[in-house]
Amino acid sequence: MKKFIVIILGVMLFVSGFAYAKGFEVTKKAGDYSVSVMNDKNPFAAGENNMKITIKDASGKFVSDAKVKVECSMPPMPGMPAMNHKASAVLAGSTYSAKVNLSPGPWTISVKITRGGKTDTARFSVDAQ
């Protein structure tokens, strides 16, 4: 019985380690688009972050003909000016990739999708550590 309990605990720890290692993921609406953003780190880290962006249209099809930009902004804080970082996303298959370099603190991240002369934006907030 003790072996059984030890094995069960070991399996639970092993599985929980994978759950903890999962990166950041959020899905937001931007106009008619569903925008899923994944980051390799959760929480976002101070320094370089590798973002993957998947965009689907209203019918659920992957969008691969858009111009995608990522804009990160942090409001001014005591003793520190407002900060901004911009990156263009590059398409690979059905996923756009962008690298953003953040300093520690609260950031608003905007994913801007330009397609057919129209721009839609998905926004979310993160706290880089």
**Domain spans of the chain, in order of start:** 23-128
Say whether pLDDT at 63 is over 60.
yes
84, 75 Cβ separation under 8 angstroms: no
Give the pLDDT score at 80.
Answer: 87
Smallest Cα–Cα separation from 121: which of 55, 50, 31?
A: 31
Give the pLDDT score at 53.
Answer: 98
- Confidence band for 16, pLDDT divided at 50, 70 and 90: very low
Residues 102-123 have a mean pLDDT of 96
Say whether pLDDT at 23 is over 90.
no
Which CATH architecture describes the domain 23-128?
Sandwich (2.60)
Residues 105-116 have a mean pLDDT of 97
Q: Which residues pair with 100 in a beta bridge?
A: 49
Name the pTM for this structure.
0.80
Say whether pLDDT at 58 is over 80.
yes
Tell me which residue has tokens 């407002």. Answer: 82
